[in-house]
Copies of this chain bind each other. A is one copy, B any other.
Amino acid sequence: MTTTPNPSPVQLHAADEPGQPTPTPALEELYRGFEKELLVPLWTEIGDLMPAHPRSKAQPHLWRWNDLLPLAERAGELVPVGRGGERRAIALANPSLGGRPFVAPTLWAAIQYLMPGEDAPEHRHTQHAFRFVVEGEGVWTVVGRDPVPMRRGDFLPQAGWNWHAHHNASSTPMAWIDGLDIPFQYASEAQFFEFGRDEISDEERITPDRSRSERLWGHPGLRPLGAPATGPGTPLLAYRWEHTDRALTDQLELEVEGYPGTVEPGHAAVRFNDPRTGVDVLPTIRAEMHRVRRGAETAPVREVGASVYQVFDGSGTVTVGSEQWTVTRGDLFVVPSWQPFSVRSEAGSTDSDSGALDLFRFSDSPVFEALQLHRSETTR
Contacts and interface: CB of A to CB of B under 8 A. Distances in A.
A221 B193 contact: no
Interface string A76-94: 0011101111111111111
B90 A283 contact: no
Given A1-B322, A1-B323, A40-B93, A243 B270 contact: no
B87 A43 contact: yes
Interface residues of A, number: 156
Contacts of A21: 78-80, 85
- Say what secondary structure dominates the interface of chain A: loop
A187 interface: yes
Interface in A4-18: 4-9, 17-18
A33 interface: yes
B101 A189 contact: no
Given A192-B375, A371-B370, A71 B34 contact: yes
A227 B71 contact: no
A278 B276 CA distance: 5
Contact of A54 (B68, B79, B192, B366): B192
A106 interface: yes
A215 interface: yes
A232 interface: yes
